[in-house]
Amino acid sequence: DFGAVSSIWALSLLLVPLVSFNLAPVAIRAVVKARQAEEDDLAAGFILFTRRMVYYTAPVTVLLFIALVWLNYPTVFDAAFGATVLMGFAVVIMALVQTGAAIGVALDKAAASQVPRELLRPAILVVALAALTWAGQPIGLGLALLLFALTAPANLIVQHLLLRKATAFVHAQPPRYDDRRSWITTGLFLLPTRVVNENAKMVMIFAASLTLTLEQVALLSVAISISGLLNFAITAVEVAVSSKGRPSFWRFRG
């Protein structure tokens, strides 16, 4: 079950950038540039355009996700059909969260935009899993997928509340879409690099699920997660002893 859940989670996260044509990394350049030029209507146009692209591609995304699960994991599809469909809708919602987070950073609201995405989902999962374990409720394939799917709308709601004031200007004037072709071209150009750099773990898990057994995929998922924790520790030490932090580090040793 854990191997199946890991494979489907990986597939869903890999589809997220495709839903929005990878417009999230374009937000920093487009929104900041427009706001600095005092072209709030163009910045508003980009924000509304990203949402519109997600809405347009939503039906295709849901159907594509369901089809890929059915083709690659037929036993999982039969065992958790309802949860699989909800995961398809969760992919669309996660695309809105991802683009919203990038737009929040571009509007100088980094903390408000990243908290829902980086902290809320793990917090919800930890609390839910702890409650289910305490109640003695077995956690099967369908329930695990359902919990993951429910974190997406929770993230979107919290993000909307935190960024509501910062994005109030979007509806204050008619939006402009002059650069929409450039936005899409840039997003698609950056897509391969982003998938490899930001979703390398998901790429490995999904690729492994195409050839390995689900038990082997589960072991691989755990191993990659543990190595990620170690990599975080190594990065933390490198930052602490970098050229910027070295003086305080050596004073501490002295």
Interval 150-169: pLDDT, tens: 889 999 999 888 888 888 88
User: Considering only CA atoms, which of 125, 105, 127, 126 is closest in space to residue 115?
Assistant: 105
pLDDT at 245: 45
pLDDT at 239: 64
pLDDT at 253: 45
pLDDT at 249: 43
pLDDT at 247: 46
Torsion of the alpha carbons at 234, 235, 239 and 242, rounded to the nearest 10: 70
Average pLDDT over the chain reads: 84
Span 56-76, pLDDT tens digits: 999 999 999 999 999 888 888
**pTM score of the predicted model:** 0.82
Span 110-150, pLDDT tens digits: 777 777 777 888 888 889 889 988 988 888 888 888 888 88
Checking if the pLDDT of 29 tops 90, the result is no
H-state helical runs in 210-244: 214-240
Burial profile 65-100: b = 16 or more Cβ within 10 angstroms, e = fewer: bbebbeeebeebbeebeebbbbbbbbbbbbbbbbbb
Span 181-208, pLDDT tens digits: 889 998 888 888 887 777 888 888 988 8
Torsion of the alpha carbons at 144, 148, 154 and 158, rounded to the nearest 10: 130
Span 101-117, pLDDT tens digits: 889 888 888 777 777 77
3-state secondary structure (DSSP) of residue 142:
helix
Checking if the pLDDT of 46 tops 80, the result is yes
